[in-house]
Amino acid sequence: MRKPLKRRTVTAMAMDFTLDVPESVSDSALDTVMPYIESDLQWADAIFSLYQPDSQLSRLGRGEASIGECVPAVAEVLDLCEKYREETSGAFDARRPDGVIDPTGIVKTWAMERVRWRFQLLGASAWLWGCAGDVTAQGRPDAVGPWRVGIADPRAGGATVDAVELGAVEAIATSGTAHSGEHIWDPRKGRADTHFAQASVAGSDLVQCDAWATAIMAGGRKVALAAQAEGLHVLTCAVREGKVFAERSPGWPRMQNAGRE
Amino acid sequence: MRTSRKLMVGGASVVILGAGFAAAPEAAVLELADPGADSPSGVTPPPAPTPTAVPDEMPVPEASTTPDVSAGATDGTYPGPVVSNIRGDYQLQIVVADGVVTDVEFLAAGTEAAESVSINAMALPVLREEILEAQDWDVDYVSGASFTSPAMVESAHGAFDDAGL
């Protein structure tokens, strides 16, 4: 049995971010560090939100500010968008048709990675840091085993269809569509697997996993194959006739007893 | 592709030309095609490692989903040759049933653990098909798509703000 863990949740960007640490981590350390993490995330939201008309990114989009007038983080994130646009051969693209750059797709994971250094201040030997489909971890929570992450059932309902161990990989990102029933079958092409209900990518960098998971959702199977050339592992799920048809790369870090419990 | 023969894996998923691994410099070829899949964004994967010649003696059974070309395939399990490079040994085997390749197994892939292949960036560009069932695992976290795009979240955020909530 896993030893008990402590979980703290902070809210930013209208999403919950959860941190799991071993129970041995002191409450006072958590109480001290978590507010800084929350405020870091909220700062990122204030800079990058395209909803808030006075955010630096909104002003940039309207041409009211230059990149040089924005905080350096803006250039950093836009550089990352370009990096992953190139790496994914265009499948990840933050440029909207109207010309506005919308880096929202990776701002969240960029912000998650950005606060990573603060976890050292907890004195924790292990931590797991997640928000929705994106999760990254360090260390082992106890002697029982490494951090274990389930992959949600794309049919929703809260179940899991697969489970992986973190260790050899440190990050997992899952991207999905709002309607998994969409694009179930394309009779003209006679195939359905270019449209995934969900794509999970495992690797060492959460932002990279996030960008590739998004790219796979946009670009389909070719992109899932290409991800492997970057050393990433992929699990895609399509839903047809109520069943989950998955495809995984050979290196997918499946939990050792997954599928047998 | 002069000496290559095609294998259709899992119905329509992977086409292997020859046998072996693309990432192994002196190994044979593993290439992937994506029949019929037009990527909406016109994406092409990064260039595959340069294919090297496929040794003629390589025992590659032929199979396809198209009945008229699968006639030569005999059901069974076909281990490929062991191909070695500096990172270790590589070997796959395929399982043929009813003239169709139903599985590709990696017997050796450069590390001791056959499934921990691409940690060393020797990623094999291949995907294996399977049907997954919902199960309960003892996990610390569930990675699931939130089913809302960040833009939707922001939009909702704004709606709540406007509503004074």
| Closest C-alpha among B118, B20, B22 to residue A251 | B118
Question: Which candidate in B140, B146, B162 is best for mutational testing of the A interface (most A CBs within 10 A)?
Answer: B140
pLDDT-based confidence at residue B72 (cuts at 50, 70, 90)? low
What chain B residue is nearest to A245 in terms of C-alpha separation? Answer: B131
Q: What is the pLDDT of residue B105?
A: 61
What was the ipTM of the complex prediction?
A: 0.85
Q: Which residues pair with A12 in a beta bridge?
A: A15
pLDDT tens digits, one per residue of A19-71: 999 999 999 999 999 999 999 999 999 999 988 999 999 999 999 999 999 99
Q: Enumerate the H helices of chain A as residue ranges.
A: 27-48, 56-61, 72-87, 104-114, 206-219, 221-227
Taking the domains of chain B in order of start, what are their residue ranges?
Answer: 6-133
Does residue A160 have a pLDDT over 50? yes
Q: Which residues pair with B106 in a beta bridge?
A: B92
Q: Give the Cα separation of A150 and B64 in Å (integer).
A: 35
Range of weakest confidence among A97-106, A133-142, B73-82, B112-121 = B112-121
Q: What is the pLDDT of residue A159?
A: 87
Does residue B61 have a pLDDT over 70? no
Q: What is the pLDDT of residue B11?
A: 34
pLDDT tens digits, one per residue of B104-132: 665 665 544 444 443 433 445 788 888 88
Inter-chain residue contact B154 with A233, CB threshold 8 Å: no
pLDDT tens digits, one per residue of A126-155: 999 999 999 999 999 988 889 999 999 988
**Residue A47 CA, distance from chain mean position:** 20
Q: In B23-147, which ranges are E strands?
A: 76-79, 83-85, 88-97, 100-109, 128-132, 141-143
Terminal Cα-to-Cα distance of chain A (whole angstroms): 14
For a pLDDT cut of 70, what percent of chain B falls above it? 18
Which stretch of DSSP H or E encloses residue A154?
A: none
What does the pLDDT average to over A182-211?
71
Does residue B95 have a pLDDT over 60? yes
The verdict on domain A5-248 having CATH code 3.10.520.10 is: yes
* Alpha carbon distances (Å) from A167 to A28, A250, B56, B133: 28, 17, 41, 25
Q: In this predicted model, which residue has the larger pLDDT, B72 or A89?
A: A89
Query: Is residue B122 within 8 Å of B109, Cβ to Cβ?
Result: yes
CB contacts of A54 in chain B (<8 Å) are none
Q: What is the pLDDT of residue B68?
A: 40
Inter-chain residue contact A168 with B119, CB threshold 8 Å: yes
Taking the domains of chain A in order of start, what are their residue ranges?
Answer: 5-248
Does residue A15 have a pLDDT over 50? yes
pLDDT-based confidence at residue B85 (cuts at 50, 70, 90)? low
Q: Per residue in A60-84, is it b (16+ CB within 10 Å) or e — as a string?
A: bbeeeeeeeebeebbeebbebbbeb
Give A135 to chain B, closest Cα distance, Å. Answer: 7
Rounded to 5 degrees, φ, ψ at A213 are: -60, -40
pLDDT-based confidence at residue B87 (cuts at 50, 70, 90)? low
For a pLDDT cut of 90, what percent of chain A falls above it? 68
Q: Is B41 in CB contact (< 8 Å) with chain A? A: yes
Which residues have a Cβ under 8 Å from the Cβ of A97 and sit 6 or more positions away?
none
Inter-chain residue contact A135 with B141, CB threshold 8 Å: yes
Compare CB distances from A161 to B106, B133, B158 and report the shortest one's residue: B133
| Burial zone of A105 (CB within 10 Å; 0-12 exposed, 13-18 middle, 19+ buried) | buried
Inter-chain residue contact A132 with B129, CB threshold 8 Å: no
Per-range mean pLDDT, top range of A89-103, A243-257, B71-85: A243-257
pLDDT-based confidence at residue B103 (cuts at 50, 70, 90)? low
Which residues have a Cβ under 8 Å from the Cβ of B70 and sit 6 or more positions away?
B62, B63, B64, B99, B100
Q: In this predicted model, which residue has the larger pLDDT, A94 or B62?
A: A94
CB contacts of A18 in chain B (<8 Å) are 141
Whole-number mean pLDDT of chain B? Answer: 52
Inter-chain residue contact A14 with B135, CB threshold 8 Å: no
What chain A residue is nearest to B123 in terms of C-alpha separation? Answer: A228
Number of H helices, E strands in chain B: 1, 8
| Burial zone of B150 (CB within 10 Å; 0-12 exposed, 13-18 middle, 19+ buried) | buried
Q: What is the pLDDT of residue A73?
A: 97
Inter-chain residue contact B34 with A225, CB threshold 8 Å: yes
Does residue A81 have a pLDDT over 60? yes
What does the pLDDT average to over A190-219?
84
Helix (H, G, I), strand (E, B) or coil at A71: coil
